[in-house]
């Protein structure tokens, strides 16, 4: 590998992408698109094809991926990921505490948080997580559904 070559002899990136030039980052994206296209996984091929299309034609990558909502919808990828993270944290909290009702009281500030879950409770508060018993039950249902169907 030369001082300027960010790839090793096998074509693997060995440099920090943040330190690459613009042209080198484009090359990295092109190589990754090619690897994804060669995958046996349909999702990886889909991502590779759309990344390659975007690299060639430009445009809106989120739209190419089908992740841009039409008509001003509110269920953005970021909101979906955030909601899944909140659900996961609620499930961890409920499991650590032992009951949904007690978790609701702790999240609502009615009961102090045990030391073992204090960090989880702080993170949930920072995310604006719901604290009603019904919201926690719905969150647990969604988490069970995701875990059981994954």
Structure confidence at residue 147 (pLDDT): 61
- Is residue 150's pLDDT more than 80? no
Model confidence pLDDT, tens digit, residues 87-135: 999 999 999 999 999 999 999 999 999 999 999 999 999 999 999 999 9
Structure confidence at residue 12 (pLDDT): 87
3-state SS, 96-107, equals HHCCHHHHHHHH
Sequence-ordered list of residues with C-beta below 8 angstroms from that of 124, at least 6 positions apart, any chain: 86, 89, 90, 93, 107
* CA torsion through residues 61, 67, 71, 73, sign: negative
Structure confidence at residue 74 (pLDDT): 80
Half-sphere exposure for 41 (CA within 13 Å, toward CB): 6
Alpha carbon of 85 to those of 34, 56, 82: distances in Å? 31, 34, 5
Confidence band for 2, pLDDT divided at 50, 70 and 90: very low
Confidence band for 1, pLDDT divided at 50, 70 and 90: very low
CB atoms within 10 A of CB 54: 18
Structure confidence at residue 70 (pLDDT): 73
- Helix 100-107 crosses helix 77-97 at what angle (to 10 degrees)? 110
Which is nearest to 133 in space by CA: 107, 101, 92? Answer: 101
113 in Cβ contact with 121 (< 8 Å):
yes
- Mean pLDDT check: name the lowest of 6-10, 78-82, 146-150: 146-150
Q: What is 29-45 written as a DSSP string?
A: HHHHHHHHHT-SSHHHH
Model confidence pLDDT, tens digit, residues 41-74: 999 999 999 999 999 999 999 889 988 877 767 8
Residues pairing with 7 in the sheet: 13
Confidence band for 3, pLDDT divided at 50, 70 and 90: low
């Amino acid at each position: 590998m030369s001082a300027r070559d960010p790839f090793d002899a096998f074509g693997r990136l060995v440099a920090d992408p943040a330190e690459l030039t613009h042209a080198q980052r484009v090359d990295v994206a092109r190589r990754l698109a090619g690897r994804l296209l060669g995958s046996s996984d349909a999702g990886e091929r889909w991502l590779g094809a759309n990344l390659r299309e975007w690299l060639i034609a430009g445009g809106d990558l989120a739209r190419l991926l089908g992740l841009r909502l039409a008509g001003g919808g509110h269920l953005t990828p970021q909101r979906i990921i955030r909601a899944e993270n909140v659900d996961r944290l609620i499930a961890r909290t409920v499991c650590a505490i032992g009951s949904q009702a007690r978790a609701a009281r702790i999240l609502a500030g009615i009961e102090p948080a045990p030391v073992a879950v204090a960090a989880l409770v702080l993170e949930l508060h920072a995310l604006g997580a719901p604290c009603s018993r019904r919201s926690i039950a719905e969150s647990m249902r969604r988490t069970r559904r995701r875990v059981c169907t994954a």
